[in-house]
Amino acid sequence: MAECGASGSGSSGDSLDKSITLPPDEIFRNLENAKRFAIDIGGSLTKLAYYSTVQHKVARVRSFDHSDKDTEQDHEPPYEISVQEEVTARLHFVKFENTYIEACLDFIKDHLVNTETKVIQATGGGAYKFKDLIEEKLQLKVDKEDVMTCLIKGCNFVLKNIPHEAFMYQKGSNPEFRFQTNHPSVFPYLLVSIGSGVSIVKVGPGSWETTGLCSALLSTGCMSEPCQAQVETEDRFEWIGGSSIGGGTFWGLGALLTKTKKFDELLHLASRGQHTNVDMLVQDIYGGAHQTLGLSGNLIASSFGKSATADTEFSKEDMAKSLLHMISNDIGQLACLYARLHCLDRVYFGGFFIRGHPVTMRTITYSINFFSKGEVQALFLRHEGYLGAIGAFLKGAEQDNPNQYSWEENYAGSSGLMSSSPELCPTQRPRSGTFDLLEMDRLERPLVNLPLLLDPSSYVPDTVDLTDDALARKYWLTCFEEALDGVVKRAVASQPGSVDAAERAEKFRQKYWNKLQTLRQQPFAYGTLTVRSLLDTREHCLNEFNFPDPYSKVKQKDNGVALKCFQRVIHSLDALGWEERQLALVKGLLAGNVFDWGAKAVSDVLESDPQFGFEEAKRKLQERPWLVDSYSKWLQRLKGPPHKCALIFADNSGVDVILGVFPFVRELLSRGTEVILACNSGPALNDVTYSESLIVAERIAAMDPVVRSALGEGRLLLMQTGSSSPCLDLSRLDKGLAVLVRERGADLVVIEGMGRAVHTNYHAALRCESLKLAVIKNSWLAERLGGRLFSVIFKYEVPAE
Amino acid sequence: MGAGRLGAPMERHWGVSASSVREPAPGGPDGRRREPLRRRANSASASAVGASASAEGVRRDRPGSYSGATSASRQRVESLRKKRPLFPWFGLDIGGTLVKLVYFEPKDITAEEEEEEVESLKSIRKYLTSNVAYGSTGIRDVHLELKDLTLCGRKGNLHFIRFPTHDMPAFIQMGRDKNFSSLHTVFCATGGGAYKFEQDFLTIGDLQLCKLDELDCLIKGILYIDSVGFNGRSQCYYFENPADSEKCQKLPFDLRNPYPLLLVNIGSGVSILAVYSKDNYKRVTGTSLGGGTFFGLCCLLTGCTTFEEALEMASRGDSTKVDKLVRDIYGGDYERFGLPGWAVASSFGNMMSKEKREAVSKEDLARATLITITNNIGSIARMCALNENINQVVFVGNFLRINTIAMRLLAYALDYWSKGQLKALFSEHEGYFGAVGALLELLKIP
């Protein structure tokens, strides 16, 4: 990544206003390679978008090369690892106050080196105002884009690509933020944009016929890889109404009534006021009788109804509060009326009136609930402020077909949700700390739902919502903090030849530590907090500092050791009777799963006892009956006809995949079941990657005729998951894998390991048989589940008829 | 709600807001605080407590029932049921801001009758009919008087009187002083104040109120008044060319086939009812942005003290200095959305700027407040009409009293945004229907 913090070095300060310091390591990263700019200039905030490429180091594995100098027979590695540079695409978004615009443009001009870009897409009310400035500073031609078109394009983009983008806000409930999982059929929806006025827009295929077709398409998983035509229908929208009572009314009328000039200050006033001093309530009219009548006396009968008097002074706070209620209620009421007219039950809210302000999200939510009697959901967006910039960018990048790809929020490079909320930091809004960032990585392959999910719209990958569960949150945050030293050490050790590894590792530590602290304060900062998101954030941070695969050497060694044991293990399995062998295979899978550098309890053992072996691991396992034990049912099933095709998600390198998974695979193959073995596309901890799995399979095939013929005949297929996470999100899987699963008619899914089968997917409902197995290598979690360290989960499920 | 309403098939939810709005009284201004809509509250609410359980579904006791009546009053009630009630005949609607009182003055009194007429009754009749103002705040809307009306076989005139709700204690005191309770009359009252002041009527005036549902009364009153006309003229009217001051004309409208009808009652707040027949209606929604909001905000923004004053200022102001129009943003029409340049994009939107705040007059602010509230009511009414599939919309309530600007704007907005599909109708006795309904209830006129 480019650290374009050059402004700190003596010479470059010239064009920057000295009073404005741009946080150098943080913003406008990767500017050198930037191309395609877009800018959205609102009333007070500017959002800049650019597309850039990032050079990463990646560890590549290559099948044994005999010219390799390592000739030590006993420790001959099974393959070689080389570190290469890889270029990936990334979208950068930066949000800052309009006051910085000139400084920012100068900064960009100074750092933009070899771009071929000639045009900048601009949207937002301020685009006209700053047009000349932008053209002069950047020497780019400003192309003005329609505000609403950009907004819709941006909205569709985040809803599709960011899993926990939309949320409901319920003040005082726990958690206050309820994130929605991506709904596969989001269209059509209502978007209510509350700027100075209110626009109400219906988004998506307009006619009911098209809508039906579209949901059919979406439910088959086409959503993540839409054809261009489909994107065009999705981006279609209709302005169905509006209202002049909006954010400008709150601001303008508020300024008149309270002499308070700033929007944020008005909101702050409102959050402290008592509207009942200004509004005429039902109880003011009915006296005490509203109770016997069953009326809610607190309902507002007439906004500002008590202010019609010359002899009372009203406080600024009370008036601001009354105004806020009046406007929020009115907007909510109109939104409900439009939703009803168009038969829609979800309304997304955006615009500066909403923009992350808990106060307005609260009153709008209240109003929607009230007027719709709970039938309409008010939803907000984490990246609402960026929609215009994202949309303008997409508009300009149409020939790159950004919608053909799947994208992923980069947790390392993005600020969290409420970074500029006045309520969370009411007093200090530091002049230089107001840069908010969003970065999105382009994934090389499109991601779709696993076709075997029972109900994609209700699938939630994560088992525990840490935003919901304070106890678990505390535990896991601490756990990740405590593990940080080890991760840093491992990262440094993985790059012995690098001079700056220690320095980068230190930066990684700082970054991840800060993320953890942010999450302690705002657990909802990146959507629902889960063990998965904590793990993924760590991976993103490691990548950010060029530690693409700290475990590559460990995995290499573990794979080498395990491969040497393969034949012996197969031998002893083959010597067993059928029934005994089935249990031994399952125990092997479980014992293999003990070898996990990601689990602290295990990595301690492995560090201190390098000889710790497969047999010891088996002894560590809990005896049957296991904590969750449907083995008998599974055995019974095995006595029946073979499965047609099994999809297996593998976990760790080394013993796990080689001595646990492969023998199991081999048995399935022998039964006549085809097997798809799915491994991560990119590295995460010591999980086996797709490219490693190819080599491992090749080596096993060389030893074992069953595997060899299955590979040769296409009965054993190695596939990549599309993921680089130690966990598994079945709604974001590589499209090639999904297609294959459908083609082969997979009727058994095996998910292995804590990350994939316990932290995620433990409750996942599938349309076919499934086996979820894991060894609990964390005593806190084991205890929570009612077991002990090394308890076993063996969950065999058959879908209801 | 009338007795028996609970199980009735229609769903009405809340009460209506009542009608009146701020009418200032003659002597003084006061009209201000009035009328909040009573139970309608549900309208907007947002208030704090978990008010969201909306009102519907809520049990209400039936008005129309004489709670805790003494045996004497029960007798009275009994006799009422059998024959027509004794004079005086009143209908009372006690809103949050204004009290509306209708009084039937019999003109066919025989000499014999006159002789028998007790002194207190005579004095009430003389007092009400010989004055046009009562105390410093009570007003008789002489121009609304309905002449030669036949009610329950009696001929007479119907008088329309209003005074601020905050003078309710004085009214009750007067009842006591004039010894109303000796008349064995029944006071039929609707509006939230029927509840709020019930106890005072009883303990101070020794008067038993018959509490009536305000929505029932409102609808009854409108239908009745429309049926009797306005002294030979039409009660209901509409505007032709409402946007053109030269060509704008107020024309009579024949409401002979009223159903279905969307009834928008703009008092301190607003209630919107869908009426399908005389006794099949429901409350669709309501909003707290009503007449009380207009007047309240005007008081805060301009320091005015009466509804008349607020309207008068508004008539001289220019709201386009205060509001941000579509053309202020797009330089003209925003064709993509079919928005004309003159449409308001952001009410009070120009007031975000300090310079513009300094450049506006109080009149401009009053006008903008009026336009904002009126447009919003029009917009909500239009959406309700669409959702309910109704195209006649009748606007009533005291917000519209002497408020031609608002009426014309409603007429224009409804026509423009519905592309001519919706028609805005108005009624001469705009704020008095609840009180009329209460009177009809007293007389058991169906």
Question: What integer pLDDT is reported at residue B46 of this predicted model?
Answer: 30
Name which of B278, B296, B299, B254 is nearest B392 in CA terms: B254
Q: State which amino acid sits at residue A466.
A: L
- Is B34 strand, coil or helix? coil
**Which chain B residue's Cα is nearest to A321?**
B47
Name which of B328, B352, B355 to mutate to probe chain A: the one with the most chain A Cβ atoms within 10 A of its Cβ.
B352
Contact assessment for residue B406 and residue B374, using Cβ atoms and an 8 Å cutoff? yes
pLDDT at B328: 86
| A192 touches A331 (CB < 8 A) | yes
Q: Are B4 and B441 in contact (CB under 8 A)?
A: no
Residue type, B312: E
Q: Provide CATH code, domain B85-228+434-443.
A: 3.30.420.510
Nearest chain B Cα to A296, which residue? B51
For residue B81, the distance in angstroms to the closest alpha carbon of chain A comes to: 26
| Whole-number pLDDT of residue A506 | 96
Tokens of A425: 């930091």
How does DSSP classify residue A699? H
**Six-digit token pair at B113?**
């009758």
Q: What is Dmax (Cα atoms) for chain A? A: 99
Q: What Rg do the C-alpha atoms of chain B give, in angstroms? A: 22
Q: In whole angstroms, what is the distance from residue A94 CA to residue A83 CA?
A: 31
Residue A609's SS3 state is coil
- Tokens representing A631 are 């083995």
| Any A CB within 8 A of B329 CB | yes
Interface test with B, best of A283, A299, A353, A365 (most B CBs within 10 A): A299
Cα of first residue to Cα of last residue in chain B, in angstroms, is 14
Q: Give the closest residue to B235 by CA, choosing from B226, B244, B224, B248.
A: B226
Q: Active-site residue among B35, B214, B308, B363?
A: B214
Give me the sign of the Cα torsion angle A548, A552, A554, A558: positive
Closest Cα partner for B416 from B331, B344, B317?
B344
Q: A84-88, A763-767, B10-14, B365-369: lowest mean pLDDT where?
A: B10-14
Residues of B in contact with A293 (CB under 8 A): 39, 58-61, 195
- Mark out the alpha helices in A402-500 (DSSP H runs): 470-493
Per the CB < 8 Å rule, is B36 touching A369? no
User: Closest Cα partner for A330 from A171, A197, A152, A148?
Assistant: A197
> Could you tell me the mean pLDDT of each successive run of 10 residues in chain A, 801 residues long?
33 38 63 83 84 82 60 64 85 86 83 74 84 87 89 92 89 83 80 93 63 34 46 82 95 96 93 94 83 75 88 93 97 96 93 87 94 94 90 85 84 71 38 70 89 92 90 94 93 89 95 93 88 94 90 89 91 95 94 77 68 78 92 97 97 93 97 97 93 95 96 96 94 95 97 94 96 92 90 95 74
Structural tokens at position A502: 């220690």
User: How far is B236 from A759, CA to CA, in rounded Å?
Assistant: 69
DSSP 8-class letter at B93: E
pLDDT of residue A352: 87
Instruction: Indicate the class that CATH gives domain B236-318+361-427.
Output: alpha beta
Handedness of CA A462, A467, A472, A477 (dihedral sign): positive
**Size of chain B in residues:** 446
pLDDT tens profile B397-428:
999 999 999 999 999 999 999 999 999 999 99
Which 221-260 residues of chain B touch chain A by CB within 8 A? none
**Chain B contacts of A276, Cβ < 8 Å?**
47-48
- Assess contact for A721 and A679: CB atoms under 8 A: yes
What is the C-alpha to C-alpha distance for residues A691 and A657, in angstroms, rounded to an integer?
A: 13
Contacts of A714 (CB under 8 A, 6+ apart): none
Interface test with B, best of A145, A279, A300, A353 (most B CBs within 10 A): A300
φ and ψ at residue A491, rounded to 5 degrees? -65, -45
**DSSP one-letter string for A494-516:** T-TT-SSHHHHHHHHHHHHHHHH
pLDDT, position B33: 34
pLDDT band at B56 (very low <50, low <70, confident <90, very high): very low
**Percentages helix, strand, coil for chain B, rounded to the nearest 5?**
40, 20, 40
Phi and psi angles of residue A520, each rounded to the nearest 5 degrees, phi first = -65, -40
Q: How far apart are CA B217 and CA B63, in angstroms?
A: 11
What is d(CA A363, CA B68) in angstroms, rounded to the nearest whole number?
A: 41
Q: How confident is the model at residue B21 (pLDDT cuts 50, 70, 90)?
A: very low
* Same fold for the pair B85-228+434-443 and B236-318+361-427: yes
Contacts of B167 (CB under 8 A, 6+ apart): B99, B135, B137, B138
- Pairwise CA distance, residues A540 & A533, whole Å: 10
Report CB contact under 8 Å: B336, A303.
no
CA distance A170 to A363: 10
CB of B378 within 8 Å of a chain A CB? The answer is no
* Count of beta carbons in the 10 Å neighbourhood of residue A650: 30
| Tokens, residue B366 | 């009053």
| Residues in B touching A170 (Cβ below 8 Å) | none
CA distance to partner chain A, nearest, from residue B233 (Å): 34
Q: What is the DSSP string of B279-308?
A: TEEEEEEEES-SHHHHHHHHHHHH---SHH
Q: Of A260, A255, A352, give the one whose Cα is nearest residue B322.
A: A255
- The full set of domain ranges for chain B reads 85-228+434-443, 236-318+361-427, 323-359
Q: How many CB atoms lie within 10 A of CB B444?
A: 13
Q: What are B250's strand-pairing partners?
A: B239
**B214 carries an active-site annotation:** yes
Contacts of A341 in chain B (CB under 8 A): 383, 386-387
Residues 6+ positions from A69 with CB-CB distance below 8 Å = none
Report the C-alpha gap between A92 and A47 in whole angstroms: 10
Q: How far from B413 is each of A329, B405, B422, CA to CA, in Å?
A: 22, 12, 10
Per-residue confidence (pLDDT) for residue A251, from 0 to 100: 95
Q: Count Cβ atoms below 10 Å from residue B386 Cβ, excluding itself.
A: 17
> For residue B282, what are the β-bridge partners?
B274
Handedness of CA B423, B426, B427, B428 (dihedral sign): negative
Q: Which residues from chain A sit within 8 angstroms of residue B300, using beta carbons?
A: 257, 304, 307, 314, 319
Query: DSSP labels for A516-538?
Result: HHHHHH-TTBTBS--HHHHHHHH
Q: Please check the confidence at residue B150 and state whether its pLDDT lies above 90.
A: yes
A33/B236 Cα distance (integer angstroms): 72
The Cα diameter of chain B in Å comes to 77
Give mean pLDDT, residues B190-213. Answer: 91
The two three-digit tokens of residue B355, written as one number: 């310079």
Token pair recorded at residue A271: 């959050």
Distance from the B109 Cα atom to the nearest Cα atom in chain A, whole angstroms: 38
Could you tell me which residues come within 8 angstroms of residue A537 by beta carbon, excluding any fewer than 6 positions away?
A411, A412, A512, A515, A526
> B297–A304: do the CB atoms touch at under 8 Å?
yes
Give the dihedral sign, CA A465/A470/A472/A476: positive
Say what the pLDDT of residue A114 is: 62
